[in-house]
């Protein structure tokens, strides 16, 4: 990938460095945390309800006396894992359709364009509400709903990139020399498209986390007792005055995660020459 | 002439879109798990008696709901009722959904409209400042603040603001009718949080315009910065993102769901969420159709607005010569 | 010599690109005199546009005047150090600018009158009605027909020539003493060009203007200027009266510029590009093709689709083009940019799908073929492009690049392929050690040799060369052309050679065709 040639620039960019370090810290703490008996998120302890942050419970306890820190960390596992999976799926579908539509044009392209027209004019929340509304609110349904329309954005961006790349002189030369479609797609287009798309996906992942946790907050996604961040926040909102740590802990967790992804994505985007910012933002 | 053609073309497109979406929604209703008849009987506590009576009751309800005919016939009947603005009655309250939605619409309209104003004015102001200071500290600062705000969950900010302005220093009125006093805080929250992407878009577009020949020529004539930026660059720079404004406004209509529920506003978003919990299918359908209608209307409006704003489109139908 | 109105001394301009400083203009010194036309000649990238913009303080963000002085007659300040406030006092009133593409120079969303009105209101209070009458009078002096209609038009409703007249009128509204004209005719049709130049000339006389004409076209300079300045890589190489510079140039670069012109002698009147269309013979459809015909193109059309708000419009780029190439023959196609010559090459190479007509290669039809069938039929047509480096995949070694056609068409085993690559590299004059490098590690001339080797590795019968030398330096151009010719006589392939440069085409082609406005013409033999 292009990362190697960008390395000096990458290290110099404060956005990329801070985003990367923040994300690394979040992933490390989420994945290495051991849920020992003291920190079992499922344990019920009536004597320790609404404890403020202390040494034994660094982020305090909730209304059932459960440790908030371990809940938030477990929630992070769920949120990050599911959202990343959804994002990878979305990216895969999007790149495939985008390349096929952009390179071969024709009927696939026309179908994609009309899908873009229909799906992108609808706010993502509405589509999620439709699915949750008809098939019942659950994290699984929410993820399915999100995957169903989110790929269109990636397809649209990939298609735009492909339409540009195929006019680059070395690709035109390859076509004129007699390279097959297979060669063009897999040896020329795919490597050039994936780098920028991955960068874009880091920013989109942030957006996805916000959407999922927002809808879970409303009760349309993860259901209790799943400690998804949005659901945790929704759980704690009633006790805002009594125990503010209940909403601040998951809230700040979401904020930091999305922030790190955005910093990383934005920093990389401004370094990457393959994807012009204005093009991305027009989408 | 072109304007008329464009109007017809856009209207046809809108109709087709409406038709496709109606088909999709109808399919979803049919695919949805569970039998609506059970909900109705359950909700109204009609199901008393032995199985035979229940079956009879079910049949009766099915007939009342028009579910005893073929799917195509059902779709046609449904469309017919839609055309007469009949969305059926809510399972929960038994009242007409059209009137329920109409009661809830003003709050959402107010919120989305006000948030849109906030969003656009913030985006314009900071976008212009950032574009004029490209790659200088002011630009970087604005960009950083933008990144911070984009990462801020609206429900967290909403809860904090509510705590501050409604409970600690009660300057915001949590109760009451749709009015400025009731709406300023939610509108501000929603507008501020959604402004960074728009701002960056405006910034990029303006920077691109600044290098255009007509700006160089304008400067060579002796025009001042205010006129060049405010009239020449802004006019041309905003044209390509008109459609983005349309999509954004649509996004605010539905993105207001979270804000509506935090600030307990009587809007259609909260109505939709309540309906989902109550499995009130006609109400959910009504909400989705209303949003669809608004989105399509906005699309139509944006598509036509190009013809009114851009003389090239108005006269030739093309932006390039 | 009359009094100078603008004196420039040792002016240096730098650009800051990602922290590094790049010098754009180095110690330029010259005067602009009252009532005279001075031409500033240079190729693109010579710094002439930067210099012109600097005279109005219009360098964009990254450009900085690093030294020297700009002094206007009657003003004490050194404008090389002026800030925006100081510049604004003289822009439009002392000095004004017109630019290359007149349609882009005007705000597309504003009516002509409003654009004139805002200019008039800059320095004085004018009522709308008064301004209207003044605008009318101005457009009349610019010889614009139906000035009232023009005033109420938007820029897109006017032709390029009309727009340029409007632009000139606007730039002269506040009576500047100096007018900088940056390639004022380059974007216009040949017939309109001379009209605009004449107009500028008569205005100069009427208003005693000092005109700085920035151009790449030495003919334009020779026709219109009193004095000429020649610029290359940011340096002024030569300056003096037109008479002297054009007829007795001192600097070798000026000589080479003069030699590069389509015709070597001044005023001999023959130049294929400026020949009037009526004298050219249209290439006939359904012509009799000879027996040894390698490529036979019949009635080829290509339309470009533009999507609008209401419908889709097709713009004709190539219109009923017919010609043939015999085997071993070199056919030249010459035309100005936008005449459709590159589109023709791209149609022949299968990069664009033709809208109408047929292409026969060795008697079998290749137009309309797709995928594998096209690739196997057209294996023996190979391309050479203008962008020498760009046409090579930056991530692959030279060896792999040259081997590409063999790989794509699955010819020979890998060992034989590499042997063949080495052989061809020798033939095009590339050292064997270069084969392991990447395109970014070799020179542009070497890149074009690689492209030639790649095109020839499969032993093609027809080479399609789209401006293969126009991106190269003059000395390398000759080397590449000689290489192509010697390879051609050795290997006997046919060639379609596309160029905008008549001299080059004349040197290597057996027959010459001309493209103009999407049509193909033969040059009358009587010249």
Q: What percent of chain C has pLDDT above 90?
A: 39
Contact present, C498 and C330 (Cβ < 8 Å): no
Model pLDDT, residue C279: 64
Note the ipTM here: 0.86
Report the gap between the CA of A24 and the closest CA in chain B (Å).
17
Taking CB atoms and an 8 Å cutoff, what residues of chain B touch C17?
A: none
Residue extents of the structural domains in chain C: 4-94+176-259, 272-380+460-522, 395-459
Interface touch B217/C99, C-beta < 8 Å: yes
Alpha-carbon distances, residue A13 vs A16, A194, B2, C161 (angstroms): 6, 22, 50, 48
Asked if omega into A225 is within 30° of 0 (cis), the reply is yes
User: What dotted CATH number matches C4-94+176-259?
Assistant: 3.40.50.300
Instruction: Give A256's contacts in chain B (Cβ within 8 Å).
Output: 151
Residue of A nearest to C346 (CA): A176
Task: With beta carbons less than 8 A apart as the criterion, state whether C461 and C294 touch.
Answer: yes
pLDDT interval class at C12 (50, 70, 90): very high
Q: How many Å apart are CA C372 and CA C16, to the nearest integer?
A: 49
* Closest chain C C-alpha to B231 CA, distance in angstroms: 10
Of C98, C109, C306, the CB nearest to B318: C306
pLDDT at B123: 96
Label the pairing between strands C356-361 and C364-365: antiparallel
Q: How far apart are CA A122 and CA A116, in angstroms?
A: 10
Do the beta carbons of residue B321 and residue C103 sit within 8 Å?
Answer: yes
Average pLDDT over residues A85-89: 93
**pLDDT of C516 strictly over 90:** no
B290 min Cα distance to partner chain C (Å): 27
The whole-number pLDDT of residue A86 equals 92
Tokens standing for residue C258 = 């003069």
Cα B33 to Cα A135: distance, rounded to the nearest angstrom: 6
Count of CB atoms within 10 A of residue A271's CB? 17
DSSP C295-363: EEEEEEEEEEEEE-SS-EEEEEEEEEEEEEEETT-EEEEE--TTSSHHHHHHHHTTSS--SEEEEEETT
User: Which subunits have 3 or more CB–CB pairs within 8 Å of chain B?
Assistant: A, C
Inspect the interface and report whether the beta carbons of B317 and C118 lie closer than 8 Å: no
What per-residue confidence (pLDDT) applies to C193?
83
Distance from CA of A282 to the nearest CA of C (A): 18
HSE-CB of C477 using CA atoms within 13 angstroms: 17
- Looking at CA atoms only, how far is residue A203 from chain C in angstroms? 25
| CA A184 to the chain's CA centroid | 30
Angle between helices A245-271 and A229-236 (to 10 degrees): 150
Contacts of A263 in chain B (CB under 8 A): 147
Helix (H) and strand (E) counts in chain B:
15, 0
For the cut 90, the answer to whether the pLDDT of residue A254 exceeds it is yes
Task: Provide the pLDDT for residue C264.
Answer: 38
Whose CA is closest to C470, among C444, C508, C499, C428?
A: C499
Number of domains comprising chain B:
1
The answer to the question of residue B12 being in a domain is no
- Closest by alpha carbon to C388, among C467, C501, C464, C334? C467
Beta bridge mates, B89: B96
B200 touches chain A (CB under 8 A): yes
Closest CA to B198 of B247, B144, B165: B247
Q: Cα(C9)–Cα(A216) distance, rounded to whole angstroms?
A: 70
User: Using the 8-state DSSP alphabet, how is residue B89 labeled?
Assistant: B
**Three-class HEC string of C466-508:** ECCCCCCCHHHHHHHHHHHHHHHHHHCCEEEEEECCHHHHHHH
| Alpha-carbon gap: A251 to the closest alpha carbon of chain B (Å) | 6
Rounded average pLDDT over C132-147: 92
Give percent of chain A above pLDDT 70. 84
Closest CA to B255 of B192, B165, B161: B192
User: What's the pLDDT at B125?
Assistant: 96
CA-based nearest distance C320→chain B, Å: 24
User: What is the average per-residue pLDDT within B205-220?
Assistant: 92
Least confident of B72-76, B233-237, C144-148: B72-76
CATH code for the domain of B263:
1.10.3720.10
Mean pLDDT, residues B269-289 taken together: 87
DSSP single-letter state for residue C111: -
DSSP states of C249-306: --SHHHHHHHHTSSSSSTT----GGGS-GGGSEEPPTTPPPPTTEEEEEEEEEEEEEE
* Per-residue buried b or exposed e for B54-66, using 16+ beta carbons within 10 Å of the residue's own CB: eeebbeebbeeee
Tens of pLDDT along C242-288?
Answer: 888 888 888 888 887 777 654 433 333 334 455 556 666 776 655 67
Tokens found for residue B178: 């749709």
- Which residue has better confidence, C281 or C489? C489
* Bridge partners, residue C20, by sequence: C17
Instruction: Return the number of other C-beta atoms located less than 10 Å from residue A33's C-beta.
Output: 16
DSSP 8-state symbol, C145: S
- Find the range with the poorest average confidence among A200-204, B211-215, C293-297, C309-313: C309-313
Average pLDDT score over residue span C282-302: 79
Higher pLDDT, B132 or C255: B132
Strand order of the β-sheet with C293-307 is: C312-326, C293-307, C356-361, C364-365
* Integer Cα distance of C217 and C273 in angstroms: 14
Tell me how long chain C is: 527
Question: Distance between terminal CA atoms of chain C?
Answer: 42
Q: Which residues of B196-216 are buried (b: 16+ CB within 10 A; e: fewer)?
A: bbbbbbbbbbbbebbebbbbb
How is B127-191 classified by DSSP, letter by letter?
HHHHHHTTTSHHHHHHHHHHHHHHHS-HHHHHHHHHIIIIIIS--S--SSSSSHHHHHHHHHHHH
With beta carbons less than 8 A apart as the criterion, state whether B17 and B296 touch.
yes
| Cα–Cα dist C163/B214, whole Å | 12
pLDDT tens-digit series, residues B58-102 = 787 777 777 777 888 888 888 888 888 888 888 788 889 999 999
- Do C405 and A170 lie within an 8 Å CB cutoff? no
Question: Can you give the residue range of the structural domain that contains B271?
Answer: 97-277
* CA separation for the pair B232, B221 (Å, rounded): 13
According to the model, what pLDDT value does residue C262 have?
47
* Chain C contact partners (≥3 CB pairs within 8 A): A, B
Cβ pair C408:A179 closer than 8 A: yes
With beta carbons less than 8 A apart as the criterion, state whether C499 and C345 touch.
Answer: no
In angstroms, the CA C294 to CA C303 distance is: 25
- The predicted model gives A222-233 an average pLDDT of 84
The CATH number of the domain covering residues in C272-380+460-522: 3.40.50.300
pLDDT tens digit sequence for A100-110: 999 888 888 88
When CB atoms are compared, the residue of A170, A176, A180 closest to C393 is A170
Cα–Cα distances (Å) from A44 to A38, A52, A245, C438, in that order, read 11, 16, 18, 65
- pLDDT tens for each residue of C370-387: 888 888 888 899 999 988
For residue B216, being part of any structural domain is answered with yes
Which of C214, C309, C315 is the best mutation test for B, with the most CBs of B within 10 A?
Answer: C309
pLDDT tens for each residue of A37-67: 555 656 666 666 777 777 667 777 777 767 7
The tokens for B265 are 């506003």
- Tokens standing for residue B312: 């090239």
| Cα of C339 to nearest chain A Cα, Å | 19
Report which listed range, B52-56, C70-74, C472-476, is most confident.
C70-74
Q: Which structure tokens are listed for A215? A: 């809808």
**Average pLDDT, stretch A247-257?**
91
Contacts of B317 in chain C (CB under 8 A): 308-311
Going through chain B in order, the beta strands assigned E by DSSP cover none
Task: Give DSSP secondary structure letters for B45-63.
Answer: T---S-HHHHHHHHHHHHH
Residue B192 has what pLDDT? Answer: 94
Backbone angles phi, psi at B93, to 5 degrees: -100, -15
Range among A1-15, A216-230, B55-69, C453-467 with highest mean pLDDT value: C453-467
State the pLDDT at residue B214: 94
Query: Which CB contacts under 8 angstroms, 24+ apart, belong to C421-428?
Result: C421/C453, C421/C457, C424/C453, C424/C456, C424/C457, C425/C398, C425/C453, C427/C453, C427/C456, C427/C487, C428/C452, C428/C453, C428/C456, C428/C483, C428/C487
Size of interface A-B (CB pairs under 8 A): 135
Paired residues of C331 in beta bridges: C496, C511
Interchain CB contact of A188 with C (< 8 Å):
yes
Flag whether pLDDT at A282 surpasses 60. Answer: no
> pTM to 2 decimals?
0.87
Q: Which of B2, B236, B239 sits opposite C310 (nearest CB)?
A: B2
Please state the rounded mean pLDDT for residues C439-450: 91
pLDDT band, residue A283 (cuts 50/70/90): very low
User: Taking 70 as the threshold, does the pLDDT of residue C453 lie above it?
Assistant: yes
- In this prediction, residue B49 carries a pLDDT of 59
- Contact residues, B window 7-46, toward A, CB-based 8 Å cutoff: 17, 20-21, 25, 28-29, 31-33
Q: How many Cβ pairs within 8 Å bridge chains A and C? A: 55
CA–CA separation, B31 vs A131, rounded Å? 11
pLDDT in tens, C197-224: 988 999 999 999 999 999 888 888 888 8
Reduced to 3 states, what is the DSSP secondary structure of residue C385?
A: coil
CA-CA-CA-CA torsion sign (C163, C169, C174, C176)? positive
Residues of C in contact with A169 (CB under 8 A): 385-387, 390-391
Query: Is there a shared CATH topology between the C4-94+176-259 domain and the C272-380+460-522 domain?
Result: yes
Contact A137 B276 (CB under 8 A): yes
Residues 104-163 of B with CB under 8 A from A: 143, 147-148, 150-156, 159, 163
DSSP string for residues in C21-57: EEEEEEEEEEEEETT-EEEEE--TTSSHHHHHHHTTT
For C150-175, b where at least 16 C-beta lie within 10 A, e where not — what string? Answer: bbebbbbbbebbbbbbbbbbbbbbbe
Q: What is the mean pLDDT of residues C146-153?
A: 93
Query: Is residue B44 assigned to a domain?
Result: no
Listing DSSP states for A234-275 in one string gives: HHHGGGTTT-THHHHHHHHHHHHHHHHHHHHHHHHHHH-SSS
Tokens in use for B241? 């993102």
Residue A263, chain B, CB below 8 Å: the answer is yes
Between the alpha carbon of residue A275 and those of residues A20, A271, B90, B201, the distances in Å are 20, 9, 49, 15
Q: What is the mean pLDDT of chain C?
A: 86
Q: Which of A256-260, C146-150, C277-281 has the lowest mean pLDDT?
A: C277-281
């Amino acid at each position: 990938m292009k990362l190697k040639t960008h390395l000096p620039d990458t290290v110099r960019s404060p956005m990329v460095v801070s985003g990367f370090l923040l994300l690394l810290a979040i992933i490390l703490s989420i994945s290495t945390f051991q849920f020992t008996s003291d920190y079992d998120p499922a344990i019920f302890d009536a004597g320790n309800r609404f404890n403020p942050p202390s040494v034994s419970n660094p982020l305090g306890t909730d209304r059932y006396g459960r440790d908030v820190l371990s809940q938030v960390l477990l929630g992070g596992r769920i949120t990050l894992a599911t959202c990343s999976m959804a994002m990878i799926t979305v990216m895969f579908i999007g790149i495939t359709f985008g390349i096929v539509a952009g390179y071969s044009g024709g009927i696939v392209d026309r179908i994609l364009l009309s899908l873009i027209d229909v799906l992108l004019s609808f706010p993502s929340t509405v589509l999620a509400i439709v699915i949750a509304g008809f098939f019942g609110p659950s994290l699984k349904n929410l993820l399915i709903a999100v995957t169903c329309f989110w790929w269109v954005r990636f397809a649209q961006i990939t298609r735009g990139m492909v339409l540009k790349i195929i006019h680059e002189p070395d690709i035109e030369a390859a076509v004129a020399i007699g390279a097959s479609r297979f060669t063009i797609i897999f040896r020329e287009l795919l490597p050039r498209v994936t780098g920028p798309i991955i960068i874009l996906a880091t920013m989109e992942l942030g957006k996805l986390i916000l959407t999922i946790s927002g809808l879970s907050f409303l009760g349309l996604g993860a259901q209790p007792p799943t400690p998804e961040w949005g659901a945790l926040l929704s759980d704690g909102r009633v006790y805002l005055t009594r125990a503010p740590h209940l909403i601040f802990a998951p809230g700040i967790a979401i904020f930091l995660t999305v922030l790190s992804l955005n910093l990383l994505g934005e920093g990389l985007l401004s370094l990457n020459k393959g994807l012009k910012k204005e093009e991305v933002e027009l989408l | 002439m072109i304007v008329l053609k464009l109007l017809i073309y856009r209207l046809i497109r809108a109709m087709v879109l409406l038709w496709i979406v109606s088909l999709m929604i109808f399919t979803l209703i049919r695919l949805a798990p569970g039998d609506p008849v059970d909900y109705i009987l359950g909700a109204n506590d009609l199901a008393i008696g032995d199985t035979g009576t229940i079956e009879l009751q079910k049949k009766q309800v099915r007939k009342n709901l028009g579910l005893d005919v073929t799917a195509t016939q059902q779709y046609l009947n449904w469309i017919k009722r839609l055309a007469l603005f009949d969305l059926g009655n809510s399972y929960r309250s038994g009242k007409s959904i059209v009137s329920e939605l109409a009661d809830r619409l003003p709050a959402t309209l107010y919120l989305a409209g006000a948030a849109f104003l906030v969003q656009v004015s913030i985006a314009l102001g900071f976008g212009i400042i950032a574009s004029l200071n490209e790659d200088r500290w002011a630009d970087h600062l604005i960009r950083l603040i933008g990144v911070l705000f984009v990462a801020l969950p609206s429900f967290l900010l909403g809860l904090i603001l509510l705590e501050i302005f409604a409970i600690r220093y009660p300057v915001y009125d949590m109760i009451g009718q749709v009015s400025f006093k009731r709406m300023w805080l939610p509108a501000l929250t929603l507008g501020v949080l959604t402004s960074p992407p728009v701002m960056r878009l405006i910034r990029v577009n303006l920077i691109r315009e600044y290098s255009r020949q007509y700006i160089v020529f304008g400067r060579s004539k002796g025009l001042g910065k205010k006129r060049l930026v405010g009239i020449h660059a802004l006019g041309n720079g905003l044209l390509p993102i008109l459609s983005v404004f349309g999509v954004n406004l649509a996004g605010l209509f539905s993105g207001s769901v979270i804000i509506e529920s935090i600030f307990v506003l009587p809007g259609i978003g909260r109505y939709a969420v309540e309906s989902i919990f109550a499995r009130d299918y006609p109400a959910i359908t009504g909400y989705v159709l209303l949003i669809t209608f608004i989105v399509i209307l906005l699309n139509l409006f944006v598509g036509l607005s190009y013809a009114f704003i851009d003389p090239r489109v108005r006269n030739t139908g093309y932006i390039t010569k | 010599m009359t009094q100078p109105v603008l004196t420039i001394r040792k002016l240096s301009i730098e650009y800051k690109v990602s922290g590094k400083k790049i010098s754009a203009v180095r110690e330029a010194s010259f005067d602009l005199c009252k009532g005279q036309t001075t031409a500033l000649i240079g190729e693109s990238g010579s710094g002439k546009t930067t210099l012109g913009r600097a005279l109005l303080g219009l360098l964009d963000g990254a450009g900085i005047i690093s030294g020297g002085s700009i002094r206007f007659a009657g003003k004490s300040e050194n404008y090389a150090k002026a800030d925006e406030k100081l510049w604004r006092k003289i822009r439009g009133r002392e000095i004004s600018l017109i630019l290359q593409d007149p349609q882009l120079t005007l705000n597309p969303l504003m009516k002509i009158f409003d654009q004139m009105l805002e200019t008039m209101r800059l320095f004085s209070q004018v009522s709308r009605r008064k301004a209207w009458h003044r605008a009318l009078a101005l457009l009349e002096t610019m010889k614009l027909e139906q000035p009232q209609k023009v005033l109420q038009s938007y820029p897109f409703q006017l032709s390029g020539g009309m727009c340029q007249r409007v632009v000139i009128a606007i730039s002269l509204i506040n009576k500047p003493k100096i007018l900088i004209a940056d390639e004022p005719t380059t974007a216009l049709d040949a017939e309109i060009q001379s009209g605009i130049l004449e107009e500028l000339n008569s205005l100069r006389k009427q208003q005693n203007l000092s005109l700085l004409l920035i151009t790449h076209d030495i003919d334009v300079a020779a026709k219109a200027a009193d004095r000429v300045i020649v610029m290359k890589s940011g340096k002024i190489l030569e300056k003096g009266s037109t008479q002297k510079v054009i007829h007795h140039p001192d600097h070798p670069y000026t000589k080479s510029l003069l030699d590069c012109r389509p015709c070597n002698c001044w005023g001999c009147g023959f130049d294929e590009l400026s020949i009037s269309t009526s004298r050219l013979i249209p290439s006939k459809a359904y012509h009799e093709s000879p027996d040894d015909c390698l490529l036979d193109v019949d009635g080829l059309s290509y339309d470009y689709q533009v999507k609008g708000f209401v419908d889709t419009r097709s713009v004709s780029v190539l219109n009923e083009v017919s010609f043939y190439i015999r085997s071993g023959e070199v056919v030249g196609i010459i035309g100005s940019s936008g005449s459709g010559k590159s589109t023709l090459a791209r149609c022949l190479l299968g990069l664009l799908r033709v809208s109408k007509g047929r292409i026969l290669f060795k008697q079998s039809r290749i137009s309309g073929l797709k995928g594998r069938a096209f690739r196997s039929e057209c294996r023996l047509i190979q391309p050479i492009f203008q962008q020498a480096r760009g046409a090579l995949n930056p991530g692959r070694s030279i060896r792999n690049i040259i081997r590409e056609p063999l790989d794509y068409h699955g010819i020979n085993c890998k060992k034989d392929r590499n042997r063949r690559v080495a052989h061809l590299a020798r033939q095009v004059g590339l050292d064997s050690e270069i084969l392991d490098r990447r395109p970014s590690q070799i020179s542009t001339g070497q890149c074009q040799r690689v492209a030639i080797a790649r095109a020839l590795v499969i032993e093609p019968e027809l080479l399609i060369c789209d401006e293969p030398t126009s991106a190269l330096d003059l000395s390398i151009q000759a080397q590449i052309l000689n290489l192509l010719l010697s390879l051609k006589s050795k290997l006997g392939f046919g060639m379609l050679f596309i160029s905008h440069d008549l001299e080059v085409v004349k040197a290597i082609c057996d027959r010459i065709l001309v493209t103009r406005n999407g049509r193909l013409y033969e040059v009358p033999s009587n010249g």
